[in-house]
Structure 1
């Protein structure tokens, strides 16, 4: 325990107070998101008697804003205050979660209403997710970017670890309403923390036509030899992850015989893996080149998908938990590294748009994966979804392994890659 505290303290040292406020807001906002995301399929299955197809469609509704809202919000983040955008977005999410609470208490909740309010809450999440990475470089110096991103991801890891377990326990012990009430209160607190953050002024270019600004951002990503394969890797990772995630709760309940608390515990293993991966990140960075560090996550994702496929032969709580642990432990290194790389080579005035394009790939692929999971489970059953998910993970591992990203010796100083001679 003392060693973990030492690592956390060393990560915190040197980071300004404004960033600390952002980091705490991020921790609380991520916790609110994870509690609501964990509660939604449990409410759908246990309260609304939803099947695999229904939970897949619910996942689609809760992730669709990442596909259709990331880019418009990214352009907005480059034009206006990123802090204000994040604060308003958390307020929107708090209202959506409070709406679910009221519907539960009045016994008026239906699956369509749950999906609509999940969509509204996810829109707030999108705005926060797009603006936060663009705000970090304005709060910390370039040499502290990796440490700052590590701190953000460690906070996210804690939220991912506790959120699903808390969500499952609240639904199982107290009821769905209180899970959403807790999420609403946390989002309101995250918004309040952001209200006191001072965002440094930045030179904002004159607003141009939306499509011209979007074109510039897309062209920058498409032409960059490092950003392009990272974007493709993120797409296939998330398609595979959410094809699996779309059917996991009904699969775990009906095929693996788990209770709501047990399902929450396996989902919580994802966050435990993230915490372990975040704590191990400094050690890995000292022993492995920057490029190799970025390959750890995709290959851990592949191993995790194979562990889940193994439950088709050996139904096991522990195999399922191990799968989610691997999905958290490896990809956290990818998230820290890819965010640092993107911030290092992207012009400040384009940060919001590039962040939005990344969010579209990272999160926008999620409704596609969820919809794919719903369609496959309806036609071929839940077992086929696990196999298709594993194929998606295999593709993303191959993409990053064959790209110049894997050969990076260190973080590039600019648009040119720091490839070994």
Structure 2
């Protein structure tokens, strides 16, 4: 049955509805924190541009540190309990920020210098929370990506991915706007309470899911070491031209995206001259592109093909990111909105197509390792991008200005998509739905050394 005929997934699938609700509300809270924490650093703590970039890097650094072994553990264990534990840890950590700031529970750590005085609002406290909640997010997102196909039929997966991506973008819009508003009216630190509450809702939703995963069984009876299973996930990417292309693109794209996003609050406050409230609203306006991208992704892919749609969304739209560093006050803020809208639309639409492709193309027993290996390589560049943005903003801030740093980092967004253009994706209409022999087989190769795969 076709996707269009089936439809109504939220109405007819209770477990998916609960998963969707918990994930959407969690994204809302994360977006509140995404604005609140940099605003705390910039407006309250008067942090440098590099420190703001370091704060963004801390949230993503765990993907580099533990991303690969987490993929193995997710494939070995049931995914839902991992998600529950990760959500509970995040709930406690985010709730602890305002509590620690108010009552000074951890003030005795003050002798740790710059990273110390955890009992009061400080860069050290924010870095610790960002690092620990980032670690919980590695477990949650890896388990979540592998868990979703277990509760949905293959024909429902594209619709499920589109709904999750679209609602996440809508939640991001509301969260970004709310983050700025909370910071303006009640103080940025109170935004952490909003995020803690969303993880409580996520816990309740996960607890209500009736589907229970069977015990994980292995097809072979020989136990494998952690290292060998990690190597198996990395080999899956290295040997497959489709996984390899999308992973390399994700790494380059995330480097550029986080490069400019890590300093966009600094840019809007110090270069454009906006106050915290409008900053949140402006960033929220750019995120409306994500809703639009999720809405049109399946329709465009069905009309022109999934491979061609990937090129359109990941290469065609992000070119307008070059408008962002041209932003000035007044009507000039429309340049920021236009560029950010197109980048968000392209990223979300591309993610919808990529998620459905991976869930169908990858063997189920390797999905956790694929997710973790892909995230290790692509998400691993996010902290590097945050540090790059912060370093460029600091180095060029006095000589050429933060605007120049924004121009350099935003230029990398469309440049990264050239990886897709010079790949098998350009020569195909659709991404495959089943695995083909790898480049180690006797499949003929083209002049670029890539296996010649049939068009779909």
Tell me if both proteins adopt one fold, taking TM over 0.5 as the criterion: yes
Within 2, Cα distance between the matches of 1:357 and 1:209? 16
1:109-144: CA deviations, max 9, x gaps?
111111111111122222111111111111111122
Deviation at 1:397, TM superposition (A): 1.4
Structure 1 runs not aligned, ≥5 long: 1-6
SS in 2 for 1:412: coil
1:126-174: CA deviations, max 9, x gaps?
2111111111111111122111111111121112111111111111111
1:248 correspondence with 2:264:
yes
1:276 correspondence with 2:292:
yes
Match of 2:77 among 77, 80, 94: 80
Other-structure match for 1:420: 455
SS in 1 for 2:260: helix
Within a 5 Å distance, the mapping from 1:170-319 to structure 2 comes to: 170-197=182-209, 198-201=211-214, 203-205=216-218, 207-299=223-315, 302-311=318-327, 316-319=332-335
Within 2, Cα distance between the matches of 1:90 and 1:300? 36
- Contact 1:302/1:390, CA 8 A, preserved across alignment: no
- Contact 2:71/2:368, CA 8 A, preserved across alignment: yes
1:391-417: CA deviations, max 9, x gaps?
422332111112112344335231139
- Contact 1:305/1:389, CA 8 A, preserved across alignment: no
Within 1, Cα distance between the matches of 2:163 and 2:331? 36
Other-structure match for 1:89: 86
Within a 5 Å distance, the mapping from 1:307-346 to structure 2 comes to: 307-311=323-327, 316-346=332-362
Other-structure match for 2:99: 102
Other-structure match for 2:165: 153
Structure 2 runs not aligned, ≥5 long: 105-119, 437-451
Match of 1:402 among 403, 422, 439: 422
Deviation at 1:81, TM superposition (A): 1.2
Other-structure match for 1:4: none
1:135–1:54: structure 2 CA closer, same or farther, 3 Å change rule?
Answer: same
RMSD of aligned alpha carbons: 2.3
1:408–1:26: structure 2 CA closer, same or farther, 3 Å change rule?
Answer: farther
Deviation at 1:175, TM superposition (A): 1.4
- Contact 2:177/2:281, CA 8 A, preserved across alignment: yes
- Contact 2:88/2:203, CA 8 A, preserved across alignment: yes
Deviation at 1:39, TM superposition (A): 0.9
Residue-pair matches, total: 414
Within 1, Cα distance between the matches of 2:54 and 2:16? 37
- Contact 1:296/1:331, CA 8 A, preserved across alignment: no
1:120–1:112: structure 2 CA closer, same or farther, 3 Å change rule?
Answer: same
Within 2, Cα distance between the matches of 1:15 and 1:322? 37
Within 1, Cα distance between the matches of 2:213 and 2:431? 25
- Contact 1:272/1:325, CA 8 A, preserved across alignment: yes
Within 2, Cα distance between the matches of 1:386 and 1:189? 37
- Contact 1:150/1:336, CA 8 A, preserved across alignment: yes
Q: TM-score, normalised by structure 2?
A: 0.85
